[in-house]
Amino acid sequence: VTEGATTGYGYGVLDDYKSLNTYYANGTYYLYDTTKSMSGVIETRTANYGSSLPGNYSVDSNNAFTSTSQGADVDAHYYAGTVYDYYYNTHGRNSYDNNGATIRSTVHYGSNYNNAFWNGAQMVYGDGDGSTFDPLSGAQDVVAHEITHAVIERTAGLRYQDQSGALNESMADVFGYFVEPEDFLLGEDVYTPNKSGDALRSLSNPDAYGQPSHMNDYYYTSSDNGGVHTNSGIPNKAAYLTIQSIGKTKAEKIYYRALSIYLTPTSNFSAARSALLQATSDLYGTGSTYNSVASAWSQVGVN
Ligand SMILES: Cc1cc(C(=O)NCC(F)(F)F)no1
Ligand SMILES: [Ca+2]
Ligand SMILES: [Zn+2]
């Protein structure tokens, strides 16, 4: 009787071939990845279009996850692995808790569910309705967004309300970019499959998607926890300006240091500016890099 780590393959949401880290036991192959150094296990499950979590392991009889309905499972599993790799290789963080916590994802949640979320214990992905969204795990930046919510919970703990909540959302979007730096859009790979060129949000042009990019246009509302998915446009624009001036390599180190050391649950936008400047000073001193970060936040009206 043999069991253990295997290498399978499958097609993702966009019908793209992907090699998969799987596990074989008793005649079945599981989306269960034991290859991440430092003990991080990645496991992917299906809610089978219901809403009870975590659901059953995503399995296959021959280690070829090639059916259309398995695309969401393939991408949730593969992209969780790439996000684990990003945090470990770039920031030395071993999973969201920095202690090798299992990264658990459940796909096929609900019916035509147009969203994805971290529920405090795992990631959950809807399949979308095929018009507004394709299965949401098909976007690497969405997967990174959700796993970053888990990182935030274990680091700054930014309270999901008003400015600290918008900052929480922004950090999730910004690390979504850092993991998938091919554009400054979020969710473009799964958003409106029948329409090209659009996205859920834009870091470079938040206003194109109804978000403010300056404090003068802060959106005071009681809905959406004080507009956390709207007001994130302001710190998102500051991040875009920062990345454009100092580059991704320095920006991601500054953002990770601010998130993991200086930000707190009640940090507002001004506190974020200060945290990022402190992190910049720690890493690069108070010269041109520091002035670029300060300027980015001044340009969005945060001083
Ligand atoms: C409005 C609104 C936006 C979101 C959102 O960002 N969801 C996470 C994502 F990963 F699916 F994008 N939820 O409600
Ligand atoms: Ca993107
Ligand atoms: Zn979010």
Which SS3 state, helix, strand or coil, does residue 185 take?
strand
The catalytic site residues sit at: 146, 229
What is the whole-number distance in angstroms between the Cα of residue 240 and the centre of ligand 3?
18
- pLDDT band at residue 38, thresholds of 50, 70 and 90? low
Cβ atoms within 10 Å of 78's Cβ, excluding its own: 25
Percent of the chain with pLDDT over 70: 99
Label residues 165-187 b or e (16+ Cβ within 10 Å = b).
bbbbbbbbbbbbbbbbeeebbbb
238-249 average pLDDT score? 98
Contact indicator for 138, 125 with CB cutoff of 8 Å? no
State the DSSP code for 262.
Answer: I
Q: What pLDDT score was predicted for residue 143?
A: 98
- Long-range Cβ contacts of 274-282 (<8 Å, 24+ apart): 276/242, 279/253, 279/254, 279/255, 280/254, 282/257
Which residues line ligand 1 at a C-beta cut-off of 6 Å?
115-116, 136, 142, 145-146, 187, 200, 229
- Of 200, 201, 232, the residue with max ligand 1 atoms within 8 A of its CB, to mutate for a pocket test, comes to 200
Share of the chain above pLDDT 90, in %: 98
Q: Atom 13 in ligand 1: which residue has the minimum CA distance?
A: 115
Ligand in nearest proximity to the CA of 170: 3
Asked whether the predicted pLDDT for residue 109 surpasses 90, the reply is: yes
Nearest CA owner, ligand 1 atom 1: 229
Report CA dihedral (171, 219, 209, 297) to the nearest 10 degrees: -50
Whole-number Å distance, alpha carbon 23 to ligand 1 midpoint, is 32
> What does the alpha-carbon distance between residue 287 and residue 242 come to, in Å, rounded to a whole number?
14
Q: Tell me, what's the pLDDT at 37?
A: 73
Report phi then psi at 74, rounded to 5.
Answer: -55, -50
6 Cα: distance to centroid of ligand 2 (angstroms): 30
Other CB atoms within 10 Å distance of the CB of residue 95: 24
Instruction: Identify the pLDDT of residue 91.
Output: 98
**3-class SS string, 92-154:** CCCCCCCCCCCEEEEECCCCCCCCEEECCCCEEECCCCCCCECCHHHCHHHHHHHHHHHHHHH
H helical segments located in the chain: 71-91, 140-154, 162-179, 224-231, 233-246, 248-257, 269-284, 288-299
CB atoms within 10 A of CB 50: 12
Q: How far apart are CA 62 and CA 100, in angstroms?
A: 29
- pLDDT digits 0-9 by tens, 110-159: 999 999 999 999 999 999 999 999 999 999 999 999 999 999 999 999 99
